Chains A and B, each alone.
Chain A
Amino acid sequence: MSLKEKLLTSYIAFEDNLEADSPLHDLRNEAIKNFEVQGFPTKKEEDWKYTSLNALLKNDYSIFPKNDSNVEFKNVKQYFLHDIDTYKIVFIDGVFSSFLSETTHDKIDVCTLSSALNKPKYKAVFEAYFGKAAKKDSMASLNTAFAKEGAYINIPKHKEVSKPIEIINFSTGNESAILLQPRNLIVVGENAHVQIIERHQSLSDNAVLTNSVTEIFAEKRAYVDYYKIQTDRPTASLIDNTYFSQERDTNCNLHTFSFGGKLTRNNLQYFQNGEHSNSTLKGITILEGKQHVDHNTLVHHIAPNCESHQDYKGIFGDASVGVFNGKIVVERDAQKTDAFQQNNNILIDDKATINAKPQLEIFADDVKCSHGCTIGQLDEDALFYMRSRGIAKKEARALLMYAFANTVLESVKIPELKNRINKLIAEKIGVSLGFDV
């Protein structure tokens, strides 16, 4: 039985067990039909031309993993931003861990999707937002069909959340292969501010495939800072689907740090519905071995006078593969749009590959849109210059890579997180250096 068949069969049992009056009932049924028609994406689709899921889909994934895992905090402490106080929404094999989490309902809601779904008082929120930003493509539909758990964050208007919120999905490997489908719903009210850090972390070498959907709604003047840390083990793969829906005068920034994992696909879509919105999408990708990371971004400028800034840096070693497919759509009404996209890549080894494809679709006539893409090697003259000043080759290469990635790192607003990323980069390129970036 193929994974698709297995999922379709499992769905019947899954939906039977849920309450029929769930606000998601109709959505789920529609979603599974979408998935059934579309199936898993293949390389024949333009958007998946450089990324094949075939090898991943051969695993016999457990879809409803058993939950008998005990995870001690001391064993996973390193994956938290433990040097500062944070809210934490933690899942182990897809099941909420109240022991590792720190949630709240005090003026703000930082809790789980399942608990919010069960409470009548949140019904209006689900009706207003759930599924409204996510697309109906096959992977997002698959997630919607099985959506039952994830983070639920609702920040009322004028509320500035005092500490970052961490969303962490652990997988323990108590099944030989596991499919996880977390579903996050984040609503940021008028003039509210929030910082969110998300990561997926496998704790064993068993296969993990995560198909995650996150919808973020920014009401007017809201400010959202979102960080994705993708440093998972070489047996873990991730298909991330993240959607930002922005009302007027909002700022939504997302940084993606992709250093680990087997295959990672980031579907990141921004919809600017209100004027004077600002979107920032940044990423650092550093790969080795046979790692594969595919950034597929869309910024949809619907309202006028908005800005978007994209800055993606990639460093590819060994036989790793990078994909950057960045699409900017400017609708006819979106006059005075200022859209900028930058994608710079360094290939360290002869067998490394980067596929870069900027796409601009502009229907308005008074806009500023630009994109730049470079693919190069480390500058030999710069290396000799640094070495002649006493900096060893390995460190000189590292310093050049740091400098290259720095435009992305410098805008990380949580100092402890910035330090952490700094260390992760140093680890990844195998150096310990005493300079700040």
Chain B
Amino acid sequence: MLHIKNLHAGVENKDILKGIDLEVKAGEVHAIMGPNGSGKSTLASVIAGKEEFDVTQGEITYEGNDISELDPEERAHKGIFLSFQYPVEIPGVSVTNFVKTAINETRKAKGIEDMKAGEMLKLIKEKAELLEIDRKFLSRSLNEGFSGGEKKRNEIFQMAMLEPKLAILDETDSGLDIDALRIVANGVNKLKSENNAILVITHYQRLLDHIIPDFVHVLIDGKIVKSGTKELAYELEEKGYDWIKEELVK
């Protein structure tokens, strides 16, 4: 589904990603772990198409097509979803209106007519229940005054509404207490299928207790230096990242 080859990217002559190779197939869950500043969030943003980053080398293919020249919205229309580490506050736009607009804009891009109001309401109700979101919450301005946990839950609610093929969860566990973490992870797991894939970006192992990865990759200084199975995550939790760095020096 997603195939990244020798990806180099950065901002204003500063390389952040220095040759990433990654293949994610449908039905798989991949975790990318690494210390602060290793380039995890940059990788997520580059896949989603943030224009601030320049791709200087390599390619990103998604479902067989090079997407590196596509606008963020075009990538979204193809089923790529990024759950933000820091969701943006948009005063004056309610959660419901935002989600409706996102869904119908995607349908418009695909040449499908707007979702009927009744169908939309039913879908919103169903997904809000899945994430244990209160109805009142949906009429509030998007992310404005939300707690860290509410913001993340709202991200996964949008993911549930948009049903992406490739979901990238950027530090979704940060700012979540244990109950919220369980709810969010449960939501993600319910959305998992044979046909979609999830890329979990995290600093800590605890989210991976709930969303079990098939593969774990360690990103250090813009490169994937080690890949393994979920056991690697436990090892990292226990020993930190220094031993990998030492291994690299050798």
A-to-B contact residues, CB < 8 Å: 379-382, 384-393, 395-396, 399-400, 402-404, 406-407, 433-437
Contacts and interface: CB of A to CB of B under 8 A. Distances in A.
A162 B25 CA distance: 66
A250 B131 CA distance: 48
B101 A391 contact: yes
26 contacts: A382-B88, A382-B89, A384-B50, A384-B52, A385-B84, A386-B102, A387-B73, A388-B49, A388-B50, A388-B75, A388-B81, A389-B158, A389-B162, A390-B106, A391-B73, A391-B105, A392-B73, A395-B101, A396-B73, A399-B93, A399-B101, A407-B92, A434-B100, A434-B104, A434-B114, A437-B92
B249 to A, nearest CB: 37
B123 interface: no
Given A389-B162, A390-B109, A403-B93, A379 B88 contact: yes
B92 A433 contact: no
A216 B98 CA distance: 41
Taking chain A's interface residues, is the majority helix, strand, or loop, or is none over half, making it mixed?
helix
Interface string B194-225: 00000000000000000000000000000000
Given A388-B73, A389-B158, 8 more contacts: A384-B51, A385-B84, A390-B76, A390-B103, A393-B71, A399-B101, A403-B92, A435-B101
Contacts of B81: 388-389
A182 to B, nearest CB: 35
A389 B88 contact: no
A395 B105 contact: yes
B87 interface: yes
Contact of A404 (B51, B92, B102, B109): B92
Interface residues on chain B, size class: 20 to 34
A150 B97 CA distance: 43
Contacts of A387: 49, 71-73, 76
A392 B84 CA distance: 18
B90 A388 contact: no
A36 to B, nearest CB: 49
Nearest to B141: A403
A382 B48 CA distance: 14
Please name the 9 residue pairs, one residue from A and one from B, whose CB atoms are nearest each other, closest first: A403-B92, A390-B76, A387-B72, A390-B106, A406-B92, A389-B102, A385-B88, A387-B73, A435-B97
Nearest to A400: B90
Contacts of A402: 92-93
A387 B105 CA distance: 10
Nearest to A389: B102
B77 interface: yes
A435 B100 contact: yes
